[in-house]
Structure 1
Amino acid sequence: MDFQMFGEKMIRFILNPIEQDARINILEGSVRSGKTVGMIPKWLNYIKNGPKGLLVITGVSKETIYDNVLQDLFNTVGAANYKYNAQTGLIKIYGRKIKVIGAKDEGSEKYLRGKTLAGAYCDELSLMPEKFFKQLLNRLSVKGAKLYATTNPDHPYHFLYTEYITDEAKLKNGMVKVYHFELDDNPSLDEEYKTFIRSAYTGFWYMRMIEGLWVVAQGAIYDMWDKVLNTFVDEDLPLGFKSLARRYVSIDVGTQNATVYLDCWDDGDTVWILNEYYYDGRAEGKQKENSEYADELEMFIGDDYPIAIIVDPSAASFKTTIRNRGFRPKDADNEVLEGIRMMSTMIAKRKLRVHRTNCPNFLKEVSSYVWDEKATLRGVEQPVKHSDHCMDAARYFIKTIIKPRRLES
């Protein structure tokens, strides 16, 4: 890997002797501030010179760990110096064994049981379940074992912030060093790019992702929505649009609540939502059977078959019904907060546009979609569950189909 210039703050971290590092070392702050890239030489030094024994690399999933960490790690050491079994998650590098473990939920801590660890690297630490993280700390029992982690900020009630990052927590803990990074700490970014990435976030997302602050989500979720720049009419579509774009249908299925189909077209740069189907059985006073919804899905799709039909993963009976009609449903990625963040970026960059007359329910929901303030006080970030069915369907599409790295371009 061809490393770019490191900033002074990162150089001090990299060059600090590992025996002088804390038991827990956390790099936190804004996106694109160089945290992950700077961690690679530090971690390689630990692999070569840290205490002997099994090491682990953890993150949300093996896939995200590969995208965020392993690709650059492997490019750095070269193909001749490592072996990686993606199925078992075992890496052999410089004579050391490293286990890759996904930590998607509290139950993932079972993969740590019985292990004696000499070190750990945690990617996207704030997304890691508390039970898993504390089990991981328990397993770092080899003398001199240390944990290195990168994270973007979350809400200020998050266990990671309250127990390990605040000044009070660091004094109480005594085993933690926290390094805060912002965009200007990464000298490899030019001013044009920094201006561009700053423009991709607004509101509390800007405070978290650009300023690197641990702040509460409150108010309108998509406050960056613009009723002109994020909408379109037929005349705005690029010439030959349908021959160039890829079509998807994204579905949020309701029983007592509304059922929504969104007709999503992706031209590789912008997602265009051309049409919506919206039926609220409660409001209409009549619920529909799955077979009726399947009939109307066929009418909605017409003759131009989509690449994928993305469906709420909990809608098992509906998926069976449409599968029997010859459709091949794809389970949506229902990671709510990351989906909202990705959708916010698409909206802010004006890369998500919705038909101004064909999608009235979407346009109504997007302006009234708000954070649940009562849940926030309990340390839980979630939207108010009311009139959110178009928002859910759009989020399913963005989180399932759009690659995170595309949002950086």
Structure 2
Amino acid sequence: MEFKPFSKKQSLAAGWWSRRETSGYDAIICDGAVRSGKTTAMSLGFVSWAMTTFTRQSFAICGRTVTALRRNVVVPLVEMLGNLGFTCIEKLSKNYIDISMQGRCNRFYLFGGKDESSAALIQGITLGGIFLDEVALMPRSFVEQAIARCSISGSRLWFNCNPDHPYHWFYREWICKAAEKNALYLHFTMEDNLSLTPRIRARYRRLYAGVFYDRFILGKWTASSGLVYPMFRKDTHLFTEPPACSRFVVSCDYGTVNPTSMGLWGESGGVWYRLGEYYYASRQTGISRTDEEHYTALEQLCSGRTIDCVVIDPSAASFMECIRRHGRFRVIPAKNDVLSGIRRVSDALKSGRIRIHASCKDCIREFSLYQWNEKAGGDVPLKEHDHAMDDLRYFVSTILAKEEKSPFFVASLTRDRGMFHVEHSGEVCETT
């Protein structure tokens, strides 16, 4: 990739605190498309501001988890700072970094805000400023507790995120009220990241569809509505002649009153094919089946094939134990983050990583009926026609997600007259 400097918007996101026209703001909010260069510019700008304004002070850099924060923010940031002449000493066990340069030294604590209990982790500390990366993924209690820690004169708040639904508390309380909060609001698109080639931008546009395209590519705070998988097309995603597959997996959504759905998956040439399915709805037949009867159906679905594993609804404890007791199949509890799983299924459909055999009538039927709950005020699919959709999601989230690869990231920097210039090399992909 050709080396490129910061775009105008990235430069503003990094240096707003030093410009006459924007230095009076107390906070900055950057949202918009994926891979638009928000995090790189803001993380470098945050440290530059802190090191210019304070010494021997404490700051916080926050992500959804400390592990994700280190991977997505801290590792590239430390490399950039090292190239600029900063000294960075990280204490992994204590989750902080001491950064120093030219006699100034400040401490930057790392926090994860993944759930309501996370607010207690940051409570009590006094900070000179805070940077919240992917703030829309954090609970409100954590964010508000983090903001309350910034009580030192001259402290500032730095937020970035990709858009979510328009009922999200951060959108309503901060983005819609940016002027009231005395916050500078910047909206990013992929065109604001000069490191991305037209080919890479086009690839990202091909990957997403529906509500995820609106949010991740167009950068809109859009309400989910209509079909969950509008990108599913019978002429594209169905097949009739099964290929020769090298390995096999079964996915299962288990129900007693609700239907039980299982899908047999085979991999060939990097594509996973749903070769067959078992779908039993006791409400339609009026007869409930036992775990042993469902297990017999599992045996029949596999038809003597060697199965790598059975990925199953993590709440189906009795059926998992039944499968283990028979000793033939290895059982893996499925990853069950609904929205993340829906996004991954959407990506897999768009990229052609999964295809469905024409005989899988119930899976095909549910694709045409599975819809968002527009009355829920958020990203919630209707709990109807979702059983094959759930077993499909379990497969993609648990098996297909492991095969995703992330390209590399390299950054080089120069400093001239107090201004920072960042250059990128390599293709950068979004990470969960």
Instruction: State the TM-score, normalizing by the size of structure 2.
Output: 0.81
Match of 1:28 in 2: 31
Match of 2:319 in 1: 318
Counterpart of 1:136 in structure 2: which amino acid?
A: A
Aligned ranges 1:7-406 → 2 under 5 Å = 7-17=7-17, 20=23, 22-46=25-49, 48-49=51-52, 51=54, 52-77=56-81, 81-83=88-90, 85=92, 88=93, 90-94=95-99, 96-166=106-176, 169-174=177-182, 176-234=183-241, 237=243, 241-243=244-246, 246-266=247-267, 269-326=270-327, 327-357=329-359, 359-375=360-376, 379-401=377-399, 402=401
Quote the Cα distance in structure 1 between the aligned partners of 2:316 and 2:4: 47
- 8 Å CA contact retained: 2:126, 2:151: yes
Quote the Cα distance in structure 2 between the aligned partners of 1:251 and 1:82: 47
How far apart are residue 330 of structure 1 and its match? 2.6
- 8 Å CA contact retained: 2:262, 2:279: yes
How far apart are residue 145 of structure 1 and its match? 3.0
Quote the Cα distance in structure 1 between the aligned partners of 2:10 and 2:197: 17
- 8 Å CA contact retained: 2:96, 2:107: yes
Counterpart of 1:171 in structure 2: which amino acid?
A: A
Quote the Cα distance in structure 2 between the aligned partners of 1:26 and 1:288: 54
How far apart are residue 173 of structure 1 and its match? 2.0
**Larger deviation, residues 209-218 vs 140-149:** 140-149
Quote the Cα distance in structure 2 between the aligned partners of 1:50 and 1:319: 57
- 8 Å CA contact retained: 2:97, 2:108: yes
How far apart are residue 216 of structure 1 and its match? 1.3
Q: Root-mean-square deviation (CA), in Å?
A: 2.9
Aligned residues: 393
Per-residue displacement from partner, 1:273-308 (whole Å, max 9, x unpaired)? 222221212222122222333343344345544444
Per-residue displacement from partner, 1:27-77 (whole Å, max 9, x unpaired)? 100112111222332233245345444433333333433443234234435
- 8 Å CA contact retained: 1:89, 1:101: no
Q: Closer, same or farther in 2 for the Cα pair 1:275/1:68, shift >3 Å?
A: farther
Counterpart of 2:282 in structure 1: which amino acid?
A: G
Query: Which has the higher Rg, Structure 1 or Structure 2?
Result: 2
Counterpart of 1:383 in structure 2: which amino acid?
A: P
**Larger deviation, residues 348-357 vs 325-334:** 325-334
Quote the Cα distance in structure 2 between the aligned partners of 1:8 and 1:399: 38
Counterpart of 1:94 in structure 2: which amino acid?
A: I
**Larger deviation, residues 71-80 vs 146-155:** 71-80
- 8 Å CA contact retained: 1:125, 1:149: yes
- 8 Å CA contact retained: 1:74, 1:82: no
Describe the SS at the equivalent of 1:48.
Answer: helix
Describe the SS at the equivalent of 1:150.
Answer: strand
Structure 2: unaligned runs, 5 residues or longer:
101-105, 408-428
Quote the Cα distance in structure 1 between the aligned partners of 2:275 and 2:94: 41
Per-residue displacement from partner, 1:189-217 (whole Å, max 9, x unpaired)? 22222222212223333222211111211
Identity %: 33
Structure having the higher helix fraction is 1
Instruction: State the TM-score, normalizing by the size of structure 1.
Output: 0.85
Quote the Cα distance in structure 2 between the aligned partners of 1:124 and 1:172: 22
Quote the Cα distance in structure 1 between the aligned partners of 2:335 and 2:285: 30
Counterpart of 1:228 in structure 2: which amino acid?
A: D
Quote the Cα distance in structure 1 between the aligned partners of 2:189 and 2:230: 24
- 8 Å CA contact retained: 1:18, 1:50: no
Q: Closer, same or farther in 2 for the Cα pair 1:61/1:199, shift >3 Å?
A: same
Quote the Cα distance in structure 1 between the aligned partners of 2:293 and 2:312: 16
Q: Closer, same or farther in 2 for the Cα pair 1:77/1:84, shift >3 Å?
A: farther
Structure 1: unaligned runs, 5 residues or longer:
none
